Amino acid sequence: MDTLVIVTGGSAGLGRALLASAPPGAHRVDVSRSGTDLPDTDHLAADLTDPAGWAAVGERLTALVTRRAWDRITLLHNAGTLEPIGFAGEVDAEAYTRNVLLNSAAGQVLGHRFLAAVRDLDVRRELVLISSGAARSAYPGWSAYGAGKAACDQWVRTVGAEQTHRGGVLVLSVAPGVVATGMQELIRDTDPRDFPQVDRFHDLHTRGQLVEPDVAADALWALLDDPGVATGEVVDLRSR
């Protein structure tokens, strides 16, 4: 099978693991600022916190999708940020704006571009947005992050319903659990004044309850092969 796999934020953490565990022989593309160290992986340089570059990224995605007759095309939007951690009205305004743009708007805009690019293709097509438990629970200090993930969950529900009418793309939002990435290190280094629930994440780390990125990535790829999964679903891998 001739497969195209595109991962945003593929330079490290879960994104890198998703590229590394992509179907054998897949043409892999990382969309990030810094690029990945994985061999045989193309890099599309982009800062997804900056809307000025989104149109160019969309054009590159369209070019990738249409450059040959793929059998399967998968876009996994993994790029996200927790920074700045702190209460709304107290943290840096520009950093807060970048958080909102990346966690909420970028996934919807790039998802729209992807759906337009693959709309008329009679191949297996999948669009996955990486979600979080913060989309459903309130964590003081994570207002922009939680709201952004919740917005993308609702976008997936709505777009999935649209795809059942026409389009046929599998669109999912997937929360991978608490994954052992640099984001978790950032959380544990945060002052409790800015993130009052920091002790919970220290406890998860101490008890060895973080999920390794490769384990989460394998579970996500297995989910895509599950015939029981329906477009528009918001899935928490911890409940499967």
- Delineate the domains of the chain, giving CATH numbers in brackets: 3-176+213-239 (3.40.50.720)
How many angstroms separate the CA atoms of 10 and 101, rounded? 18
CB-based contact 5:20 (threshold 8 Å) = no
Residue percentage of the chain with pLDDT more than 70: 100
Residue found under tokens 């022989």: 25
The residue to which tokens 């964590």 are assigned: 139
Per annotation, catalytic residue among 142, 145, 155, 195? 145
CB 92 within 8 A of CB 71: no
Cα–Cα distance, 44 to 7 (Å, whole number): 10
Region 1-17: mean pLDDT is: 96
Rounded Cα–Cα distance for residues 118 and 124 (Å):
10
Residue 182 CA to residue 165 CA, distance in Å, equals: 40
Supply angle C-alpha 182, 186, 192, rounded to 5: 155
| Mean pLDDT to the nearest integer, 180-202 | 95
Within 13 A of 193's CA, how many CA atoms are on the CB side?
Answer: 2
**Could you confirm whether 139 is annotated as catalytic?**
no
Confidence category of residue 1, pLDDT binned at 50, 70, 90:
confident
Output the six-digit token pair for 78. Answer: 């993994």
What does the pLDDT look like over 19-74, one tens digit per residue? 999 999 999 999 999 999 999 999 999 999 999 999 999 999 999 999 999 999 99
> How distant, in Å, are the alpha carbons of 12, 18, 158, 217, 227 from that of 222?
21, 11, 24, 9, 10
Question: 72-110: per-residue pLDDT in tens?
Answer: 999 999 999 999 999 999 999 999 999 999 999 999 999
First to last CA, the chain: 27
Q: Hey, is 164 helix, strand or coil?
A: helix
Whether pTM exceeds 0.75:
yes
